[in-house]
Amino acid sequence: MSDVEPRILAAWREWLSALASDPEAAIAAAHVYGALSADGREAWLTALEEDSPKLGVPKVALYAPLLSVEADAGRIERIRAAMANDVPSVDLQRTIALRGVAPDRTRIAVLVAPLYVEFVQVLSVRFSPHSGFVWVRLDPIIRAEEAPTSGYRIEGITLERTPLKPVVEELALAILAQRRHGQEIPRSMVGFAGLFDARIENEPSTQE
């Protein structure tokens, strides 16, 4: 961004620095990036690659809001590569699952996954393991204190804290059912794809 007016460049960098501590700035970054065209997103990532070494801000703070709304495989890989040396190993046990069953036997599930610091992303899904998804909603970045907890209600259904593994297994079945019907997987689920590929443990492993 060397050809940008210094005042604009300074404001851009100041705003980027705020992403590490200001929830509103992080949420705004996710929304603005999510509304950009493909070319606009590429330009944003290029600007980050140029400026992030000069900011003294953890790269996860700069990139996690973008990753939460990105669905393009190439850009997801580019973002992950940029964060590679700055993100701790994913602790799947920190992802919280809530689940309830509707009268029609469809399930409503909520996954609350940590992003960084005090931020989480929340995936809410109504689905059938046998026929696929009714709807999928993603809150890409919110404060952890505002995330749903046990007793939360959606469409009149009370959700309770549930071990992660059986919920993910049901969601994996719904993904297979969706594909069998020739339908695309909802874009909102792309960021959670790792859950369906990983070996998930709900309790610390023990030697038998």
Structure tokens at 146: 């505002």
User: Quick one: DSSP state of residue 4?
Assistant: S
pLDDT in tens, 6-56: 777 788 888 888 887 787 888 888 889 999 999 999 999 999 998 888 888
Q: How many CA atoms lie within 13 A of 8 on its CB side?
A: 6
Residue 60 pLDDT exceeds 50:
yes
Q: Return the SS3 of 205.
A: coil
What is the predicted pLDDT for the residue at 73?
Answer: 87
What is the predicted pLDDT for the residue at 69?
Answer: 85
pLDDT in tens, 115-150: 777 778 889 999 999 999 999 998 877 888 899 999
What is the predicted pLDDT for the residue at 103?
Answer: 95
Q: Return the SS3 of 53.
A: helix
What is the predicted pLDDT for the residue at 141?
Answer: 76
Residue 153 pLDDT exceeds 90:
yes
What is the predicted pLDDT for the residue at 21?
Answer: 76
Domain ranges of the chain: 6-83, 92-197
Q: Is the pTM of this model over 0.75?
A: no
pLDDT in tens, 68-116: 788 898 998 898 888 876 654 445 678 899 999 999 999 999 999 887 7
pLDDT in tens, 155-204: 999 999 999 989 989 998 998 898 888 888 777 776 676 676 544 343 33
What is the predicted pLDDT for the residue at 91?
Answer: 53
CB of 58 closer than 8 Å to CB of 101: no
CB of 123 closer than 8 Å to CB of 138: yes
20-31: b (≥16 Cβ within 10 Å) or e:
beebebbbbbbe
Q: Which residues partner with 154 through β-bridges?
A: 157
Q: What share of the chain is helix, strand, coil (3-state, %, to 5)?
A: 45, 20, 30
Strands (E), the chain: 96-101, 107-116, 119-128, 132-143, 153-154, 157-158, 160-162
